[in-house]
Structure 1
Amino acid sequence: MADSRTDDLRHHLVNLLTARQAHATFDDVVEGLSPELRGERPEGTPYSVWEQVEHMRIAQRDILDYCRDPEYTQPAWPDEYWPDAAAPADDEAWDRTVGGFREDLAAFCNLVRDASTDLHAAVPNGDGHTYLREAMLVADHNAYHIGQIVVIRRQLGAWPDPG
């Protein structure tokens, strides 16, 4: 018999990872951005939207690998967590990154939804972190960078006026 509290927790975690609740979603911040602005760094801003999106993809994939791969090794920080260029090479590179982020997010949500995943158990071959902790880390990290992308887009004049 399923534990309704655990089912509720899984549901809330998936919503935290995907739903528009208190902030914009990943899809909100990548949709409608013109290709020529993807690599622009507004004055005083150290990153472009591209750098933020690619970093999010890399970091989220790293956490997913940490949770799924018994042979996991952590990439070198910070070099392997950020792209080398401020802009994607082309539209295909942008599309691969956006698509990869979405695919990995869906895989992470499936991991959370899977009744065989004990959310309170430590990740095997990890350092004591639980699946619950990793899901909250992904949600927190993504929300942080989504907020940064909103600010960058506002600075570029490419964010819808709320009012």
Structure 2
Amino acid sequence: MSKSIFSKGLHGESVHVDPTKVFDDLSWEKASKKVENMPYTIGQILHHMSFWQDFILELVEGNNPPPPKDNEEEWAIESFPAEKMEWETKVAHFKAGVLKAEELADKKLTDKNELFLELVMHNSYHAAQVVVIRRILGEWDSI
């Protein structure tokens, strides 16, 4: 996989919405709102995406992070976010992780191809969930 293909996949270029943009212009109140027949809130999905993005990037860097102890660790079962600052901090953390992935890809893309591909697929999948929930909430008008 080339750096260009990785970057396009990471940002959904020509394929789907950029996962770093699905949280833009969304209030923490809407992010924590439970939608009928959906198992998680947008905030919980963001927490999950950040958790696994951090985990994968640790592996890329050659570390051996411990797997999650339970679902609560990776899904933030409790209400998330509980306040504006918590939401903004987590969104910024997620976006910083995407930038870190691009930086690491410059150095390690060839020998860590599978991990980078897992990150792209995971973020893409959950970004689509966020868009669906935003549409249900009336908070998504992009095509």
TM-score normalised over the length of structure 2: 0.90
Larger radius of gyration: 1
Residue of structure 2 in register with 1:138 after alignment: 119
**SS of the residue aligned with 2:32?**
coil
Residue of structure 2 aligned with 1:93, choices 77, 86, 99: 86
In the alignment, what sits opposite 1:33?
26
What is residue 127 of structure 1 aligned with on the other side?
none
Displacement of 1:54: 1.1
Is the contact made by 1:13 and 1:135 (CA closer than 8 Å) also made in structure 2? yes
Query: Would the alpha carbon gap of residues 67 and 34 (structure 1) be closer, same or farther in structure 2, given more than 3 Å must change?
Result: same
| 2:71–2:77 contact (8 Å) kept in structure 1 | no
Q: Which gives a bigger RCO, structure 1 or 2 (Cα 8 Å, sep 6+)?
A: 2
Alignment CA distance shift 1:160-1:69 (3 Å): same
Structure 2: which 5+ runs fail to align? none
Asked whether the equivalents of residues 150 and 159 of structure 1 are also in contact (C-alpha less than 8 Å), the reply is yes
Moved segments of 4+, more than 6 Å: none
Q: Amino acid of the residue matched to residue 50 of structure 2? A: R
Distance 1:87 1:80 in 2: 12
The aligned length equals 143
How many Å apart are 1:86 and its aligned residue? Answer: 3.0
Question: Distance between the aligned counterparts of 1:16 and 1:138, measured in 2?
Answer: 9
> In the alignment, what sits opposite 2:130?
149
In structure 2, the residue matched to 1:47 is 40
Question: In percent, how many aligned pairs have the same letter?
Answer: 25
Deviations 1:26-58 (A, max 9, x none): 233111113321111111111111011111011
Aligned to 1:30, what secondary structure does the other structure show?
coil
Q: Against the structure 1 CA distance between its residues 118 and 95, is the aligned structure 2 distance closer, same or farther, given a 3 Å change threshold? A: closer
Give the AA of the match of 1:37. K
- Indicate whether 1:58 and 2:51 are aligned: yes
SS of residue paired to 2:121: helix
State the one-letter code of the partner of 1:62. F
Query: Taking structure 1 as the reference length, what is the TM-score of the superposition?
Result: 0.79
**CA 1:28–1:80 in 2, change beyond 3 Å: closer, same or farther?**
same
Residues of 1 paired with 2:91 and 2:119: CA distance?
16
